[in-house]
Amino acid sequence: MSLAIGVDVGGTKIAAGVVDEQGTIIAELRKATPANDTDKVAALISSMAKELAAEHGATSIGIGAAGFVDDARSTVIFAPNLAWRNEPLKDRVEQATGLTTVVENDANAAGWAEARFGAARGANSAVVLTIGTGIGGAIISNSQLVRGSNGFAGELGHFIIRPDGRRCGCGLRGCWERYGSGSALVTEARELSTLDPNLGARMLELADDNPLNITGLHVTQAAKEGDAAALDCYSTLGTWIGRGMAALAAVLDPDVFVLAGGVSEAGDLLREPTIKAFKKQLTARKFRPEPQVLMAQMGNKAGMIGAADLSR
């Protein structure tokens, strides 16, 4: 049995696990991410991997990290949550552990897990959308992960869906993730509750009557209770996601779209308005097979599982 180690590097925690060829996690470690010290982050990844390898005999390491990873899958060009700039992570970890190591964008790793073991298993082509604070993406074509000429493919949250729209953290205006992410959901809810406190009364009640305290969990709870304003917020979110997916379908023609990430846990609250908008905007709908729209199955360990599998 071939065992590999998958590492999911987050801004607050690092999760590492031993994963078998069926995508099952055999053992797992979690530790806090060292703050403001990239050397300590690399050292901790290495020590966690060495501990797991010594106990379970894993032979390779896959590391999923947010940000841009080069096409050689070795260097983190830019990782905003860890202040990595041209970090030679593969070389550092290989030297410390003696194990073959690859580095992958975290959304690619999570998407690969869905393609191999989850919702998109068996599909020849898929787009996996990781919808959280922003929008990450993984593109699968001919059962292979599409990385692009420089390794940067899949940064789907930053295609322009509304020219001259809201300013994004990347510096541009109108990026998809400013309208189709968890952050966008919260922005919509806060703005609505500020403009009309009566309409947003339930969300305000959950947030101690302060619009700035409204979180995605508050919106979701209110929506599940049938609150009209919260349902409208999800309808708006799903509309923007569906429109973006229709544009991607025109370019990529995938078999499947998978909705993943924290916001996808809202289930049909998100899926139904997304599908409605997607079908409305899908080009040549009556003359083409329609991509399926499915919810992710791998949960918050998808990044770890996908990174491990990509290291084989």
CB 237 within 8 A of CB 132: no
3-state secondary structure 163-216: CCCCECCCCCECEHHHCCCHHHHHHHHHHHHHHCCCCCHHHHHHCCCCHHHCCH
Q: Are residues 247 and 156 in contact, defined by beta-carbon separation less than 8 angstroms? A: no
pLDDT in tens, 249-269: 999 999 999 999 999 999 999
How much is the pLDDT for 34? 92
DSSP string, 17-32: EEE-TTS-EEEEEEEE
Half-sphere exposure of 4 (CA within 13 A, CB side): 21
Rg (CA), the chain: 20
- Residue 145's alpha-carbon distances to 63, 105, 109, 303, in angstroms, are 16, 11, 9, 14
Q: Residue 277 pLDDT more than 80?
A: yes
Amino acid identity of residue 224, one-letter, is K
Residue 174 has pLDDT above 80, yes or no: yes
User: Which pLDDT score, from 0 to 100, does residue 155 have?
Assistant: 92
Topology classification of domain 4-112+301-310 = Nucleotidyltransferase; domain 5 (3.30.420)
Q: What average pLDDT does this structure show over 197-205?
A: 95
Residue 94 in 3-state DSSP? helix
- For residue 8 the two structure tokens come to 């999911």
Unique residue bearing structure tokens 């990347």: 170
pTM, full prediction: 0.94
CA–CA separation, 61 and 49 (whole Å): 7
Per-domain boundaries in the chain: 4-112+301-310, 123-296
Report the pLDDT value the prediction gives residue 219, as an integer from 0 to 100: 98
- Cα–Cα distance for residue pair 312/190, rounded to 1 Å: 45
Averaged pLDDT of the chain:
95
pLDDT at 11: 85
Distances (CA, A) of 58 to 190, 201, 278: 47, 53, 42
Cα(185)–Cα(138) distance, rounded to whole angstroms?
A: 22
Pick the more confident residue, 60 or 78.
60
Looking at the predicted structure, is the pLDDT value of residue 169 above 90? no
**Strand ranges for the chain from DSSP E:** 4-9, 13-19, 25-32, 60-65, 68-69, 76-79, 84-87, 100-105, 126-131, 135-141, 144-145, 256-260, 292-295
Do 4-112+301-310 and 123-296 show the same overall fold? yes
List, in order, residues 6 or more apart from 123 with CB less than 8 Å away.
115, 140, 254, 255, 256
Which residue type sits at 211? P
Q: Which one of 3.40.50.620, 3.30.420.40, 3.40.50.1370, 3.90.100.10 gives the CATH number of domain 123-296?
A: 3.30.420.40
For residue range 91-132, list pLDDT tens digits in order.
999 999 999 999 999 999 999 999 999 999 999 999 999 999
Give the pLDDT band of residue 225 (cuts 50, 70, 90): very high
Range 67-80 burial, b when 16+ CB lie within 10 A, else e: bbbbeebbbbeebe
What's the CA gap between 226 and 233, in Å, rounded?
12
High-pLDDT (> 90) share of the chain, %: 91
Residue 85, φ and ψ in degrees, nearest 5: -135, 115
Number of other residues whose CB lies within 10 A of the CB of residue 146: 16
